[in-house]
């Protein structure tokens, strides 16, 4: 449990560093945004795929 918490914290911190450095996480090609009047609907398809792959790799690495 301790390793998982440390890895999760490091992953969140790493994502924060990348976003601060200018990585457009959340605005990737493939993310959909619909605007009509004052309403905006945002569907982050590409971001979800990238995060899923990264989390899968990290969790597979932790389980070894």
Q: Mapping DSSP to helix (H, G, I), strand (E, B) and coil, where does residue 39 land? A: strand
Distance (Å, whole) CA 47 – CA 60: 20
- pLDDT tens for 34-46 read 999 999 999 889 8
Distance (Å, whole) CA 28 – CA 44: 8
Structural domain boundaries enclosing 40? 2-63
Distance (Å, whole) CA 47 – CA 64: 26
- pLDDT tens for 9-56 read 888 888 888 778 887 766 788 889 999 999 999 988 988 898 899 889
**What domain count does the chain have?**
1
Q: Mapping DSSP to helix (H, G, I), strand (E, B) and coil, where does residue 38 land? A: coil
């Amino acid at each position: 449990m301790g390793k998982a918490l440390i890895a999760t914290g490091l992953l969140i911190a790493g994502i924060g560093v990348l976003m601060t450095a200018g990585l457009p996480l959340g605005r990737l090609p493939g993310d959909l945004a619909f605007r009509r009047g004052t309403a905006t609907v945002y569907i982050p398809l590409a971001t979800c795929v990238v995060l899923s792959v990264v989390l899968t790799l990290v969790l597979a690495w932790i389980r070894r």
